[in-house]
Amino acid sequence: MPAIAFFDAKTYDRASFDLANDRYEIRYFESRLTLQTAKLASGCEAVCAFVNDEIDGRTVGILADNGVKVLAMRCAGYSNVDLKAAEAAGLTVVRVPAYSPHAVAEHAMGLLMAVNRRLHKAYGRTREFNFNIAGLTGVDLYGKTAGVIGTGKIGRAFMDICRGFGMRVLAYDPYPALDAGIEYVSLEELLERSDVISLHCPLTEDSWHLLDADAFARMKKGVFIINTSRGALLDSTALLDALNSGKVRGAGLDVYEEESGYFFKDHSEKPIRDDVLALLVSRPNVLLTSHQAFLTEEALSNIAATTLENLDDYFAGRKLINEVRAGA
Active site residues: 230, 259, 291
Residues 6+ apart with CB under 8 A from 67: 42, 43, 44, 45
Taking the C-alpha atoms of residue 328 and residue 326, their distance in angstroms, rounded to an integer, is 6
Residues 6+ apart with CB under 8 A from 64: 89, 90, 91
Q: At what angle do helices 153-164 and 101-117 cross, to 10 degrees?
A: 50
Residues 6+ apart with CB under 8 A from 32: 7, 8, 50, 52, 53, 54, 260
Q: In what order do the strands lie in the sheet with 25-28?
A: 25-28, 3-6, 46-49, 70-73, 92-94
Give the 3-state secondary structure of 253-267.
Answer: ECCCCCHHHCCCCCC
Q: In a 3-state reduction of DSSP, which class is residue 316?
A: helix
Q: At what angle do helices 236-245 and 275-282 cross, to 10 degrees?
A: 40
Taking the C-alpha atoms of residue 95 and residue 7, their distance in angstroms, rounded to an integer, is 15
Please name the residue ranges forming H helices in the chain: 11-20, 57-65, 83-89, 101-117, 119-127, 153-164, 187-193, 213-218, 236-245, 275-282, 297-316
What's phi and psi for 157, nearest 5 deg?
Answer: -65, -40
